[in-house]
Structure formats: C-alpha cells, structure tokens
Amino acid sequence: MGILAVRRWSSLDPLERQRLLARSTAQIFEPSLMASIEAIFRDVAERGDEAVLAATTKFDGVSFSSGAELRVPVADLAAAHASLAPGLLAGIREAVANSRLFNEAQLAETAGGWRQEVRPGFLVGEQFGPIPSLGLFVPTGKASYPSVLCQIGTPAVVAGVPRIVVLVPPAPGGGGAVDAATLAVAHELGMTDVFRANGPAGIAALTFGTETIPQVRKIVGPGSPPVTAAQVLAQRYGVATQMLCGPSESLIIADETADPWRLAIDLLNEAEHGADSAATLITTSEALVAAVETAVADQLPRLSPVRAAAARAVLGDLGGAILVDSVSEALDVANAYAAEHVQLATSDPERTLAALRYAGEALLGQDTPIGASSYTIGIPATLPTGGYAQLSGGVTARTFLTSTSTARLSPEALAGLAEPTLALADHEGFPAHANAFRLRGLG
C-alpha cells in the first residue's frame, strides 16, 4: 500500500464521503469530550483561579503557587523580544507588516462608515467600531507558534480593540515558561495582558473572568479539539467565537500541468501538523497521483521522525488523493469540502477560482504555496475549518468590528412609509406600533 490513500469520488459510498467531508470535526463534538470540557467550565465558574491552576497542573504538568503566576510579567515580554535571533525577529516583523498592510487596506473600506440617500429624504447607512474586549488563544505543545499571534493579533490591533488578552499554555516540561517567540510577538504588537494556563481552562477563565484573568466578549485562535470544543462551549455563556479554527486542513486542485514535486511539498506542508489534520489532492489524473506518491516518498526523509509519522497518518487516512472525472467535479467536491486552505494548481487558476465558492483562502498557482500564506503573505491564515468556510472567512480586522445600522427620515419620507407600515402593524396586532404613525397624524 502506498503513502497516499487514493479514492475515486464517484465510487465512494455516502458514509465515506461524509467521513471525509467531516474530517476531524467529529472529535470536537464527541459527547465525552464535550462533557469533560463542561466540567472544566463549571469548575472555573465556581472556583476561578484555583480551578485554572488545578487544570494546568493536571493537563499540562505545570504547577504554579498562586493565581498571580498565571500572568506573564511585562518585563518577560521585553526580555523575550530582546533574546530572539535577528533572523527570527525579522521574520516576525515581516509577518506583522504584511498582515498590517492587508488589514489596513480592508479597514479603509469601512473607515467612517457609509450613508446613502436611497430615496428622497430616506437616508440609511452603517457605522463601525471595535469590539470592547478580546481573548487571543495561541497554541503550544506540538510546536512554537508565534505566527498565530502575528495572524490574529495584528488585525485586532489594526481594528483598535481596546483590551486584548493573550492566552498561551505553558511549554510542556518548561517549568511554566512560555514560548519566547510568542511573547516577543506580543511585545512587538504592544500587548501586555498575557496569561499562561491550560487551554480549555484558560478559555473558561476568559469566558467568566477570574481573580486574575479578565473576562472578554470574544475569543479566537486555533487549537486542538479540546481547545476548539471549549470555544464552542463559551458561546453558551455569551462569548462570541470564530467557528471553527482547527485542526488544520488543505485541498489542492491540480490538473495534468501541475508539477508533482511541488504538489508533494505543499501536501506535506499541511500533513505534518498532526494526525488530526487533513491534506488532500483532487485531480483528474491518475498519472499525476502516481508521480506525487513518488515525490512524497522522496521528501518524507527530510522531515523529523515525528513530523514524518504525522504526515503518513494524514495522507493515509483523512487526506491523500481524490480522483475525479472532470475539473467541474473537482470544484463540486471542493465546494462541499469548504477547506481552510485551497491551492489552485491548474493551467488557469483564475478561471478555476471563478467556480470556487467556499474556501478559507484560495492560493493561485504553485508559486503561491500554503507555507507562504501561513507566515508572511499577510492575508488571513487563521481560517475556518471543518466546512465552516461555507459560513465565514478568516480572522481579519473586520472580525473585530461591530456594525451599527443608521437611518434618518425626512417628514416627507416618514409620511411615505405610513400606509405600508400601518398595514403590517394592524395585521400583526401591535396598536402601539401603529400609533407611532396615527398619533403623529399619519394614516
């Protein structure tokens, strides 16, 4: 058996199609996991810092003596920033700068809101402003992820969110230390409210507020199924989240013109995240799949044993290759899948893009790899997973804005609305609504 699981879409039964389209989402909503997260939430709601400390000891193997130690001292942020190798700091600054360019360009479209006279004397519009508070979750454990804070922190700063709280689990076996590169990003972005705690317990703390960790109105950030489940549960208590952000996934739509070596590079880019990820090639060409299989086998030894094992697990199960009978069928599958990352490795990616309706991001051509978008292109890289790209997009400055609709009527415009409004109010049996017009002498 090869490294790539190869399936022909037209031959799959409905259950297998459903499994591939669901990918790891089922883990997030698994009843026993949700029950365990609910127990953590109840504990944090009742005991505050004490519960967060207990969960961090139990699940992360890190013990703190008091709730005060959950906060990372501001001096540690500056020290981490100063300690970084120049090349890494330059990479962080490039990522932040390009993300800032994208988000400032996006925000320019909404600056000052808009207002339009749609009929004589009939003005409607919107005004926009930042949400009041935000929690940013940055994962750790499998690796160091300063890029995540670049991706979700920069748009929050551009949006002007007045209170931004960063939550990072302590590094395993690090005695409570937090990844220095992530702390350096916080310092670079001017963030000072940084906390270290177990992921689900920390998200519960952001949801309810504790003696040390402040309550916020929205939480975003990618993570493991338990972290994502915690964000889902937070919505029950009135906290907004971004659905869903993790585990990672990608689709590559390729035709016979694609370079199999580069296809293998970009499949492995996503597959190395972990066994719960998905990295899938969709193509009409069996010959291309065979060539990609060879290229993947050649490239796997370049990965560490842990990453290579993860890639094999992904490409042999939830990922691999899907053979389709036409490019049209490939796009049907892609739109049903609604992947986090989609790369268009076709002879005419612009034409392919025109038929792609649902994707967290679309990368056109093999010179626009997922690896670049994950770090330094500057477009959103924290994106909806599990099919939620059919409902939402990536984390941008717009994610952190509120919208207030506005209207202003002239006396003449108000009079023009009397007859239709009275008809509706009378039909629905709301006399006070009708009196808003009748007692003004209208109708």
User: Catalytic residue positions?
Assistant: 340-341
Element at 289 (helix H, strand E):
helix 286-299
CA distance 245 to 340: 9
Q: Name the token pair of 206.
A: 């952001």
- The string of DSSP letters for 320-358 reads EEEE-SSHHHHHHHHHHH--SEEEEESS-HHHHHHT---
Q: 3-state DSSP call for residue 79?
A: helix
Report strand pairing: 218-220 vs 240-241: parallel
Count CB neighbours of 198 within 10 A: 28
**Could you say which DSSP state residue 170 is in?**
P
Amino acid letter, residue 66: S
Per residue, the 3-state secondary structure of 8-68, as one string, reads EHHHCCHHHHHHHHHCCHHHHCCHHHHHHHHHHHHHHHHHCHHHHHHHHHHHHCCCCCCHH
Please classify residue 13 by burial: count the beta carbons closer than 10 Å to its beta carbon, then call 0-12 exposed, 13-18 middle and 19+ buried: exposed
Q: 3-state DSSP call for residue 429?
A: coil
Of the candidates 140, 138, 116, 115, the one whose C-alpha atom is nearest the C-alpha of residue 128 is 115
CA distance 167 to 135: 7
CA distance 305 to 388: 32
Handedness of CA 263, 264, 265, 266 (dihedral sign): positive
